[in-house]
């Protein structure tokens, strides 16, 4: 965790963006020589303190990722590529784990301002390890471990800028490159928040599946459940929206952060298209040998009238169908974590997780991990959960591969931050959109269990799609 410092960047006279830029460049000149740039192989990171915490990361040209959680005051963003490793197929996470272990063994950090921050990587992957390269999110690889060249990290009012390079590297060329990157990003860090745009009309396009095909798909799933081949399966929809203007990613991230402060806002861009999510569901958080994992399943709408909203909440707490759907997820998460934990606490929940547009049943499973368990192993064990796939896991996955009329891409995959010790946090990619210019393909799903009604499940997906569609109106 970052700790207080006495850096001169906290001096109020230094807070103007140009003065901060000058100070950071001077600090870069002073400290770049401490990096082991002549060392053969490995990576080196230089951490420079910023004068205050950050709320929104700026949008720059080129590859980037952005994770922000309003209520927790956390932000991580990465720009450019210092190193990347890709994989696909059943062994994708084991392949990336081997690469990440190699990085961790040869990754040196210099923190001259004693911020306590460290460099970090991003791990992200699609829903299915075998999805074709021509899927709707083809611009993102099936699975990737990515070290950004320039990163921003903000927590609890403190922030740092992190520069990372592969080794060996010449000091003169690196200094020029990093100065240019500071020129690009630092003046944007203190820009005032963008004024909200007038809500724009979005043209609603095709849904895949459409309502009639959805109805048949739900009945087919219920037949599998009646035959006891499945306990639960999660069906997904894709809806295309077209805007009147090119969608602005900075405004979209700001809108999502404002509208859904208890969600993790995720934005990832590799090429021309961006993948954006506002997800309420954490796959897990690992801190050293401690683990917390979310079990979220069971959904109801919200109401503007307070009395009606409270009535819906009470109904969700007592709904036999929703409680049964929730328990399937709790049992699966507990079983997965039992394979890598010394001890597990009884699940905490279910409680109500209320968002602006929907509310969910949520439980948290906590425990103490065995030694040498890392984010890659946890991702293998926990993904996909019954909340996004079904139960039993493999049977549900096989049925969806045969029956679902679209490829999910990164929807219901996972992404998050990997620390240098290979601990970290991943989030399930829900309430998502793939965005290119004026086109946005939105994704949402619903869990089918015994007693599910096709039209009720369709309405549930409509409520979930509204999260992204509402924010897109202001982007």
Residue 354 lies in a domain: yes
Residue 57 lies in a domain: yes
pLDDT for position 5:
43
Residue 3 lies in a domain: no
The CATH number of whichever domain residue 406 belongs to comes to: 3.60.120.10
Shared domain check, 302 and 175: no
Range of the domain at 345: 202-473
Phi-psi region of 402 (alpha: psi -120 to 50; beta: other; left: phi over 0): alpha
Residue 196 lies in a domain: no
pLDDT for position 11:
44
Last residue of a domain, one of 143, 161, 189: 189
Shared domain check, 253 and 180: no
Shared domain check, 213 and 144: no
Residue 195 lies in a domain: no
Residue 2 lies in a domain: no
Shared domain check, 153 and 102: yes
Shared domain check, 233 and 165: no
- Name the catalytic one among 131, 149, 224, 232: 232
List the chain residues with pLDDT less than 50.
1, 3-14, 135-138
pLDDT for position 6:
39
Residue 462 lies in a domain: yes
pLDDT for position 194:
66
Shared domain check, 255 and 354: yes
Shared domain check, 447 and 304: yes
Shared domain check, 310 and 217: yes
Shared domain check, 120 and 89: yes
Shared domain check, 85 and 225: no
Q: Determine whether 232 is an active site residue.
A: yes
Shared domain check, 286 and 184: no
Residue 194 lies in a domain: no
Shared domain check, 150 and 264: no
Number of domains making up the chain: 2
pLDDT for position 285:
96
Last residue of a domain, one of 189, 210, 226: 189
Q: Determine whether 281 is an active site residue.
A: yes
* Mean pLDDT score of the chain: 90
- Name the catalytic one among 131, 149, 281, 419: 281
Indicate the pTM of the whole model: 0.90
Last residue of a domain, one of 167, 189, 211: 189
């Amino acid at each position: 965790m970052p700790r207080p410092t006495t850096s001169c960047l906290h001096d109020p006279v230094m807070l103007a963006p140009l003065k901060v830029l000058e100070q950071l460049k001077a600090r870069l000149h002073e400290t770049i020589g401490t990096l082991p740039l002549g060392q053969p192989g490995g990576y080196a990171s230089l951490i420079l303190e910023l004068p205050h915490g950050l709320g929104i990361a700026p949008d720059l040209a080129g590859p980037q990722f952005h994770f922000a959680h309003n209520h927790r005051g956390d932000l991580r963003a990465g720009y450019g590529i210092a190193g990347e490793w890709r994989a696909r197929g059943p062994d994708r996470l084991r392949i990336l784990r081997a690469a990440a272990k190699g990085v961790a063994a040869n990754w040196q950090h210099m923190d001259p301002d004693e911020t306590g921050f460290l460099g970090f990587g991003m791990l992200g992957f699609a829903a299915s390890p075998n999805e074709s390269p021509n899927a709707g999110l083809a611009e993102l690889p099936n699975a990737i471990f990515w070290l950004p060249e320039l990163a921003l990290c903000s927590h609890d009012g403190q922030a740092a800028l992190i520069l990372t390079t592969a080794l060996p590297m010449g000091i003169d060329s690196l200094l020029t490159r990093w100065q240019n990157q500071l020129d690009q990003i630092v003046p944007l860090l203190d820009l005032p928040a963008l004024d909200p745009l007038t809500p724009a009309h979005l043209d609603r396009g095709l849904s895949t599946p459409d309502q009639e095909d959805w109805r048949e798909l739900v009945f087919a799933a219920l037949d599998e459940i009646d035959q006891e081949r499945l306990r639960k399966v999660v069906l997904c929809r894709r809806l295309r929206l077209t805007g009147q203007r090119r969608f602005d990613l900075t405004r979209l991230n700001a809108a999502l952060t404002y509208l859904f402060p208890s969600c993790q806002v995720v934005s990832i861009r590799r090429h021309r298209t961006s993948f954006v999510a506002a997800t309420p569901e954490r796959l897990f958080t690992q801190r050293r040998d401690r683990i917390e994992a979310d079990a979220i399943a069971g959904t109801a709408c919200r109401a503007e009238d307070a009395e009606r909203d409270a009535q819906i909440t009470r109904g969700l707490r007592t709904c036999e169908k929703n409680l049964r759907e929730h328990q399937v997820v709790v049992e699966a998460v507990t079983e997965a974590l039992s394979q890598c934990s010394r001890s597990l606490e009884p699940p905490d929940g279910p409680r109500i997780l209320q968002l602006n547009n929907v509310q969910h049943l949520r439980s948290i499973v906590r425990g103490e991990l065995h030694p040498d368990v890392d984010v890659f192993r946890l991702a293998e064990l926990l993904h996909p959960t019954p909340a996004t796939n079904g139960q039993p896991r493999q049977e549900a996955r096989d049925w969806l591969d045969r029956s679902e009329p679209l490829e999910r891409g990164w929807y219901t995959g996972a992404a998050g931050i990997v620390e240098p010790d290979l601990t970290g946090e991943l989030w399930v990619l829900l309430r998502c959109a793939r965005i290119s210019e004026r086109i946005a393909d939105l994704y949402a799903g619903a869990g089918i269990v015994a007693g599910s009604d096709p039209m009720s499940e369709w309405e549930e997906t409509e409520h979930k799609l509204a999260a992204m569609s509402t924010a897109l109106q202001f982007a």
